[in-house]
């Protein structure tokens, strides 16, 4: 009986130690800068390989989940019409040529982020994190825990659109054992 109790105590300590040795690690991944997006096909896509990021590589094997996801940068609507910006995510390398095919074949990850005609805005971190789609975040988490190679598509919701993102950054906060 005494040995059984010791085993339970040891297991509890081991479990506690596991959650103690963890943290929330920020990884930022810069996208093409400046990133100019128009409705002209093929649509803009960003091939991401997190394996090129040393912070990600350091913590990848101990990654449990994503604590936070955001897309940041300064975004300018080059059009005289308002537009909503959206980002789609494909877990595998893909090359959908048109916005309609992106919407049909990829998962919506972020948005809509509204821009008035010719408006320039800095995407605030809190606001950006709130625009992440829960289901897509789960899929992104699975991909980040796998090989970290995926594709992002940035498009507008209107038929014609043109906008530029300066210093675009994908920000991931890894919930990882350390």
Partner 1 sequence: MKQRGWVALGLGLVFFAGPAAGLAPKIGAGAFGGASIPIVQDDNGTGPIYGIRVPVNLLQFLTAEPYFAHTGGGEAEETFGGIGYTRSGFEINSFGLNAAIGNVGLAPAFSVFPYAGVGSYALTRDGSDDLDEFGFQVGLGVAFSPIPALAVDARGELSVVATDRTSRKFANITVGLTYKLFGVPGAP
| Residues at the contact surface with partner 1, assessed by CB under 8 A | 18-20, 22-26, 28, 30, 33, 64-65, 67-68, 70, 72-74, 122, 124-132, 134, 166-169, 171, 173, 175-178
Please report, in angstroms and rounded to a whole number, the separation of the first and last CA atoms in the chain: 35
**Measured between alpha carbons, how far is 173 from 166 in angstroms, rounded to an integer?**
22
In the complex, minimum distance from the CB of residue 131 to partner 1, in angstroms, rounded to a whole number: 8
DSSP 8-state code for residue 50: G
Q: Which is nearer to partner 1, 30 or 97 (by Cβ)?
A: 30
User: Please, is 100 exposed, middle or buried when counting C-beta atoms within 10 Å of its C-beta (0-12, 13-18, 19+)?
Assistant: exposed
By C-beta, is 85 or 102 nearer to partner 1?
A: 85
- Nearer Cβ to partner 1 (61/126): 126
Question: Across the strands, what pairs with 89?
Answer: 107, 152
- Provide, rounded to whole angstroms, the least separation between the CB of residue 76 and partner 1: 13
Alpha helices (H) in 21-133, listed in sequence order? 54-59, 99-105, 125-130
Q: Name the minimum Å distance from CB 145 to partner 1.
A: 12
């Amino acid at each position: 009986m005494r040995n059984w109790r010791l085993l339970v105590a040891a297991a509890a300590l081991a479990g506690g130690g596991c959650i103690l040795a963890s943290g929330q690690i920020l990884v930022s991944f810069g996208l093409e800068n400046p990133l100019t997006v128009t409705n002209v096909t093929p649509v803009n896509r960003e091939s991401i390989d997190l394996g090129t990021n040393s912070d990600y590589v350091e913590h990848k094997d101990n990654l449990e989940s994503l604590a936070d996801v955001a897309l940041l940068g300064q975004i300018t609507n080059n059009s005289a019409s308002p537009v909503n910006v959206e980002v789609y995510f494909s877990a595998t390398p893909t090359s959908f040529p048109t916005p309609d095919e992106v919407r049909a074949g990829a998962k919506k990850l972020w948005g809509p982020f509204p821009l008035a005609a010719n408006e320039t805005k800095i995407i605030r971190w809190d606001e950006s994190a709130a625009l992440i789609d829960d289901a897509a975040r789960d899929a992104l988490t699975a991909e980040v825990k796998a090989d970290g190679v995926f594709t992002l598509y940035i498009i507008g919701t209107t038929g014609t659109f043109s906008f530029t993102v300066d210093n675009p950054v994908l920000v991931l906060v890894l919930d990882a054992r350390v």
